[in-house]
């Protein structure tokens, strides 16, 4: 699938910020075999005084920006064309859940996607009794790891209410879980906590999702949104798979990856530190437009 | 110990050691295995035994006096107010023979070098994990493993530059390492203070004993830090978390001692990959940072985003190779308790040698065999968090000591271990050697451990010949943490031969090191400016209060028109007069202390103590003083203490930029207070007695009598308190002062255009100069008040951001 992706995010501050520094992860990733970045540009207004490109521990492209003069508004725009490869349906080669621990222990390495990074608690995903027990209640038998992942993802889809008004980006995962509501970020964090709770390494993916308009309607301009889902490890043979608990599906050609990490804080689209006071507001518009070939 | 043959009363040494009962199977520093005093101690013990009760008391008091005068304190966490505590000096030093010390030094240097290799691998290509010497999980799940720094090589080629080890002597008499301190080891400054205090106690004896001096170590390390700079223009700073940290005193002390800037995260900024310090003269490069801040707080952009102590972009500066961190960010991972389980093997694998000084036996429960062993031997172990980096004796987490939990846990130790195996570690419980400590006049044996400091220099690792000993409050080894009632002692490394005397100044050989030109960080300038303002504000309020309560006492508590008017005026300053001491005074002085606390490195200890004394007095009064005469007298006491403080500061402070900001703050506040005072009390509608009261509040009654042959009238009062260039209590005098200081501030070059700040002061100054007493009416005073306020804004914009 070929897509044109357009994104525009505007931040407005109540008061002048005199210096600010940001890390931005907004441009779709180039992932050999999964997704090809045909073209991608990031434009920022006002023009940043410093601009540093680098690749982080998990292989994501990070842009670090600094503004050194007074500013009240920043606009980030992305224009990208990407090709998302078809994912060939795969055989379940994952081990039994009871064998996963020894596979992890036998993995002697701490490279970016070693399972060890994804088993313990991370900044936004504590491992809690409540999520672990929830997961244990779903996985009663010693199933394959892949089946366990799918079962937990589907259970969350069934038990959680999608509600964009109920949570914000700062709502703690456990609070969203207690109320069984939230958005893709909450769904994903909760699923990660459930998986790690029963010993399955799990991480967080940020990206875009193509939305398919209801039959007979046209796609609304700017109505798509940034999205998030879960990445989980199915043992050395099978490696990593991705599951979208908000839509109860293994990810496919509709999912476009930006960045991957342990949880939201590793991949936050825009993270900033500034010298100012008061509040800010932000606005975003996203379009994921399929190109007919 | 009891010596045979002689009766205790005849032998002063035996009398001194009457209560000194060493324990079975526990080695003692003072008494050797055969029951004799070890040679290294004999002369100190002999000297002590000849001292009378009074002399010992006097000597100890001398040491304590020094610590009080120097303002040495540490901050205790966990209590409600994180209070500052007196430094718990044990007046008995720990003595170690030079030969034994050399062995310790060699062993610890080997360990420091090993840790350097380990951390380079953990942040490099991870061969230790790949080859199975270190479990991947201990690295990947370690909160001290900072992913943004993986693959980043330190600019200086070294991760470690200054480390400390906690060591103790075990039952067989050999030394053991019980903790590695690599993140931001504290205690070196305290070791210095212990030394100075202890030499006060044993002044005469110390001079005769061959005790190695500490200054040479610090001089070498200072020079090593200076040599790490990019060039002579860039600076070395000490990064502190700030006054609320438990060892802030030490940070300020070390900064003063070594002559480096003491910086908080807010002082720093990153520009194009270069670390800069915000100073009153603009941004200046910093290329070496000795950090006392844990890495996780260092950069809110890439590390803990909730940190308010760090500097956004610091990691970028590190990656650009423009700053050397001492120690590198991320080296905290070496403190991980579980690492000790693997170091013996790693040492053999990397160096082919065993550890010269072993660390205490440690088993990580993430391995099946080891887990089983820990379960079976829980009775003789301390089991706790594998990732803990705190010293062994701080049982902060849930731990099981000798088979018993330190918290109320409803679980067996076995199931606790099975459920959290990867996160738990068992360490052999150690009984540490004892050393003499005073219990009254008598010496008693107490468990101890040593913190030993090592610095990397051009010639390799240098070991501080001495250190910092923790002494337990009872005979139990497990209670050695300072936070729970232990004490600290100096460590004397004693030679058989005379030792060189050393000072920080060093001998005049080879190229001399130039002191770095002083630059004043903007935050320090800001705190000094506000310190000046708050102290002056407090004084002015207190003078007004005194005037009020004197008149209240005279009128027999009846509210005269003047009292009512003054009461309202005070209320407009948020100062309630109805009850005793108003909160506004307490708060203003608290703000002054807070500001002073941030600039402790630039501020005389006497001045600090005077301010502390003032706050204590105020807190005492707030409960007792009653309106009228009592309050008036209390206010006089406060005024005397305030002038004591101002005198100490202004008489003793070096006339440099710091002093100028303090002085500008004071002058500006005084000019503002006087303007408001005149505006209220020279108004035509002000009640009778207002003019005399204004003169009294401005402490100018005597001058008025001498200068004018008439009774007070509006013209004489305005002349004396606003326009007189010779009266320090006149607005014009204060503007002259401010203007003088401003011309010496950076950027105020006479040949260039006036800065906005200079323009504002010139305007205020000139317009006041042109006024006569009668033209300086209420409208003119109010507009002057506005000009003074904008002066403060311009000053902030130019220097204090």
Secondary structure (H, E, C), B622-676: HHHCCCCHHHHHHHHHHHHHHHHHHHHHHHHCCCCHHHHHHHHHHHHHHHHHHHH
- Claim to verify: residue A105 and residue A81 sit in the same structural domain: no
The predicted structure's pLDDT at residue B86: 73
| CA–CA–CA angle B301, B302, B304 (5° rounding) | 85
pLDDT for the residue numbered B515: 54
Residues A274 and A242 both lie in one domain: no
Let me know how long chain B is: 801
Q: Which residues on chain B are in Cβ contact (under 8 Å) with A65?
A: none
Q: How many structural domains are present in chain A?
A: 2
Interface of B with A (CB under 8 A): 126, 129-132, 135-137, 139-141, 147-148, 150, 269-273, 300-302, 305, 312-313, 316, 319, 801
Which domain CATH number covers A116?
Answer: 3.10.620.30
Average pLDDT, stretch B286-300?
Answer: 95
Least CB-CB distance to B132: which of A18, A108, A114? A108
In 10 A of CB B367, how many CB atoms? 16
Residue of A nearest to B420 (CA): A120
Is A114's CB within 8 Å of B132's CB?
no
d(CA B20, CA B28): 10
Query: Domain range spanning residue A131?
Result: 97-267
Which stretch of B156-170, B422-436, B615-629, B749-763 has the lowest confidence by average pLDDT?
B749-763
| Chain A residues closer than 8 Å to B300 by CB | 273
Cβ within 8 Å, pair B136-A52: no
Query: Could you tell me if residue A91 is inside a domain?
Result: no
**Within a domain: A220:** yes
DSSP one-letter string for A85-120: PPPPP----PPBHHHHHHHHHT----STT-GGGGTS
A93-108 residue pLDDT tens: 999 999 999 999 999 9
The string of pLDDT tens digits covering residues B690-728 is 999 999 999 999 899 988 888 889 999 999 999 999 999
Q: Please check the confidence at residue B218 and state whether its pLDDT lies above 50.
A: yes
Residues A237 and A111 in one domain: yes
Those residues of chain A whose CB sits closer than 8 Å to some CB in chain B are 18-19, 21-23, 50, 52, 54, 56-58, 64, 66, 68, 105, 107-111, 114, 116-117, 119-120, 265, 271-273
Do residues A128 and A56 both lie within one domain?
A: no
The average pLDDT across B632-643 equals 92
Mean pLDDT of the region B9-16: 83
**What distance in Å separates the CA atoms of residue B675 and residue A6, rounded to the nearest whole number?**
61
Task: Please report, for residues B21, B325, B584, the alpha-carbon distance to residue B434 in angstroms, rounded to integers and kept in the order given.
Answer: 10, 37, 52
Query: Sign of torsion, CA B715 B717 B722 B723?
Result: positive
3-state secondary structure B366-413: CCHHHHHHHHHCHHHEEEEECCCCCCCCCCCCCCEECCEECCCCCCCH
Whether residues A185 and A41 share a domain: the answer is: no
- A200 shares a domain with A261: yes
Answer whether A19 sits within 8 Å of B300, measured CB to CB: no
How buried is residue A229: exposed, middle or buried, by Cβ count under 10 Å (0-12/13-18/19+)? buried
Q: Under an 8 A CB cutoff, do B801 and A18 touch?
A: yes
Arithmetic mean of pLDDT, B586-591:
90
- Which candidate from A110, A119, A272 shows the least CB-CB separation from B139? A110
Same domain, A21 and A102: no
pLDDT of B507 above 70: no
A219 and A277 housed in the same domain: no
- Copy the structure tokens of residue B694: 């204004």
- Between CA A135 and CA A133 the distance in angstroms is 5
For residue A81, the domain's CATH number is: 2.60.40.2250
Assigned domain for A90 exists: no
Per the prediction, chain B carries an average pLDDT of: 88
Answer yes or no: do A132 and A154 share one domain: yes
Q: Which residue has the higher pLDDT, A80 or B476?
A: A80
Give the gap in angstroms from C-alpha B301 to the nearest C-alpha of chain A: 6
User: What is the number of other CB atoms lying within 10 angstroms of the CB of residue B199?
Assistant: 20
Per the listing, tokens 């009775």 go with B379
Contacts of B126 in chain A (CB under 8 A): 109-111
Tokens representing B345?
A: 């093997």
Q: For residues A109 and A254, state if they share a domain.
A: yes
* Residue of B131, B140, B301 with shortest CB distance to A21: B301
C-alpha span between B505 and A108 (Å, rounded):
52
A119 and A20 share one domain: no
**Average pLDDT of the segment spanning B329-351:** 96
**Does residue A176 have a pLDDT over 60?**
yes
Element (H, E) at B436: strand B434-439
Say whether both A225 and A152 belong to one domain: yes
**Closest residue in chain A to residue B133, using alpha carbons only:** A108
- Please give the average per-residue pLDDT across B388-398, as a whole number: 70
Q: Rounded to 5 degrees, what are φ and ψ at B447?
A: -65, 150
């Amino acid at each position: 699938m070929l897509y044109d992706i357009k994104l525009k995010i505007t931040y407005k501050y109540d008061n002048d910020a005199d210096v600010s520094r940001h890390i931005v992860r907004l441009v779709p990733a180039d992932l050999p075999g999964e997704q090809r970045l045909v073209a991608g540009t990031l434009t920022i207004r006002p023009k940043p005084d410093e601009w540093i490109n680098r690749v982080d521990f998990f292989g994501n492209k990070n842009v670090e920006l600094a503004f050194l003069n007074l500013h009240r508004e920043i606009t980030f725009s992305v224009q990208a064309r990407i090709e998302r490869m078809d994912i060939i349906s795969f055989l379940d080669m994952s081990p039994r859940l009871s064998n996963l621990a020894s596979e992890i222990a036998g993995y002697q390495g701490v490279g970016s996607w070693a399972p060890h990074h994804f088993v313990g608690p991370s900044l936004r995903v504590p491992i809690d009794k409540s999520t672990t027990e929830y997961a244990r209640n779903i996985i009663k038998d010693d199933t394959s790891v892949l089946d366990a992942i799918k079962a937990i993802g589907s259970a969350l889809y069934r038990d959680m209410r999608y509600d964009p008004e109920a949570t914000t980006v700062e709502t703690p995962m456990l609070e969203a879980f207690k109320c069984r509501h939230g958005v893709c970020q909450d769904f994903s964090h909760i699923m990660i906590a459930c998986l790690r709770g029963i010993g399955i390494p799990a991480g967080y993916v940020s990206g875009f999702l193509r939305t398919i308009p209801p039959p007979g309607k046209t796609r609304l301009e700017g109505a798509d949104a940034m999205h998030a889902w879960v990445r989980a490890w199915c043992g050395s043979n099978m490696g990593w798979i991705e599951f979208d608990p908000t839509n109860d599906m293994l990810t496919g050609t509709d999912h476009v990856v930006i960045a991957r990490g342990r949880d939201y804080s590793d991949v936050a689209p825009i993270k900033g530190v500034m010298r100012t006071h008061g509040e800010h507001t932000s606005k975003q518009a996203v379009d994921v437009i399929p190109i007919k070939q | 110990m009891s010596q045979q043959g002689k009766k205790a009363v005849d032998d002063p040494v035996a009398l001194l050691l009457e209560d000194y009962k060493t324990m079975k199977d526990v080695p003692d520093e003072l008494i050797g295995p055969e029951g004799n005093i070890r040679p290294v101690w004999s002369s100190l013990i002999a000297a002590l035994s000849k001292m009378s009760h009074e002399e010992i008391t006097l000597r100890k008091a001398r040491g304590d006096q020094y610590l009080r005068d120097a303002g040495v304190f540490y901050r205790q966490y966990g209590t409600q107010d994180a209070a500052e505590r007196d430094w718990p000096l044990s007046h008995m030093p720990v003595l170690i023979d030079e030969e034994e010390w050399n062995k310790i030094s060699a062993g610890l240097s080997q360990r420091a070098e090993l840790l350097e290799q380990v951390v380079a691998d953990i942040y490099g290509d991870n061969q230790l994990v790949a080859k199975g010497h270190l479990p991947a999980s201990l690295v990947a799940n370690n909160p001290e493993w900072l992913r943004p720094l993986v693959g980043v090589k330190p600019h200086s080629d070294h991760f470690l530059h200054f480390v400390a080890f906690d060591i103790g002597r075990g039952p067989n008499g050999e030394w053991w390492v019980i903790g590695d301190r690599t993140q931001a080891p504290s205690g070196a400054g305290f070791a210095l203070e212990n030394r100075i205090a202890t030499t006060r106690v044993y002044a005469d004896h110390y001079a005769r004993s061959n005790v190695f001096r500490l200054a040479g170590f610090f001089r070498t390390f200072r020079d090593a830090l200076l040599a790490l700079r990019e060039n002579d223009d860039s600076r070395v700073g000490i990064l502190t978390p700030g006054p609320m940290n438990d060892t802030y005193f030490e940070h300020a002390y070390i900064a003063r001692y070594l002559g480096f800037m003491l910086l908080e995260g807010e002082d720093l900024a990153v520009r194009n990959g270069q670390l800069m310090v915000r100073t009153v003269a603009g941004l200046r490069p910093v290329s070496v940072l000795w950090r006392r801040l844990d890495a996780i707080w260092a950069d809110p952009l890439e590390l803990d985003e909730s940190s308010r102590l760090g500097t956004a972009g610091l990691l970028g500066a590190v990656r650009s190779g423009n700053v050397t961190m001492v120690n590198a960010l991320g080296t905290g991972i070496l403190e991980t308790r579980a690492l000790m389980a693997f170091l013996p093997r790693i040492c053999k694998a990397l160096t082919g040698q065993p550890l010269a000084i072993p660390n205490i036996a440690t088993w990580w429960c993430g391995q099946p065999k080891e887990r089983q062993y820990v379960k079976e031997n829980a009775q003789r172990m301390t089991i706790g968090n594998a990732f803990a980096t705190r010293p062994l004796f701080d049982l902060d987490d849930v731990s099981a000591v000798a088979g018993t939990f330190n918290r109320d846990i409803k679980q067996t130790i076995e199931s606790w271990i099975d459920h959290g195996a990867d996160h738990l570690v068992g360490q052999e419980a150690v009984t540490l050697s004892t050393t003499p400590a005073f219990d009254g006049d008598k010496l008693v044996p107490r468990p101890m451990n040593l913190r030993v400091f090592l610095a990397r220099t051009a010639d390799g690792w240098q070991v501080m010949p001495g250190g910092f000993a923790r002494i337990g409050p009872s005979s139990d080894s497990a209670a050695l943490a300072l936070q729970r009632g232990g004490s600290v002692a100096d460590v004397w490394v004693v030679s058989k031969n005379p030792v060189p005397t050393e000072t920080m100044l060093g001998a005049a050989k080879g190229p001399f090191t130039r002191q770095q030109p002083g630059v004043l960080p903007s935050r320090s300038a800001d705190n000094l400016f506000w310190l000046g303002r708050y102290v002056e504000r407090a004084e002015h309020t207190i003078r007004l209060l005194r005037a009020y309560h004197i008149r209240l006492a005279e009128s027999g508590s009846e509210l005269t028109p003047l009292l009512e008017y003054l009461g309202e005026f005070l209320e407009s300053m948020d100062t309630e007069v109805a009850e005793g001491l108003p909160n506004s005074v307490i708060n203003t002085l608290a703000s002054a202390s807070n500001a002073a606390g941030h600039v402790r490195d630039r501020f005389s200890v006497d001045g600090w103590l005077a301010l502390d004394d003032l706050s204590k007095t105020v807190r005492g009064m707030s409960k007792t003083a009653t309106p009228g005469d009592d309050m008036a007298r209390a206010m006089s006491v406060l005024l005397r203490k305030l002038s004591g403080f101002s005198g100490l500061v202004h008489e003793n402070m070096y006339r440099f930029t710091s002093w100028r900001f303090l002085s500008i703050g004071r002058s500006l506040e005084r000019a503002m207070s006087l303007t408001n005072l005149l505006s209220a009390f020279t108004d035509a509608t002000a009640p009778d007695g207002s003019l005399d009261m204004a003169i009294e509040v401005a402490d100018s009654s005597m001058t008025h009598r001498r200068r004018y042959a008439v009774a007070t009238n509006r013209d004489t009062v305005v002349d004396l308190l606003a326009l007189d260039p010779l009266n320090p209590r006149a607005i014009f005098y204060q503007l002259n002062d401010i203007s003088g200081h401003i011309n010496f501030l950076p950027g105020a070059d006479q040949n260039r255009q006036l800065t906005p700040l200079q323009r504002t002061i010139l305007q205020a100054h000139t317009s006041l100069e042109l006024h006569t007493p009668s033209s300086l009416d209420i409208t003119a005073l109010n507009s002057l008040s506005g000009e003074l306020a904008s002066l403060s804004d311009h000053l902030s914009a130019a220097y204090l951001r």
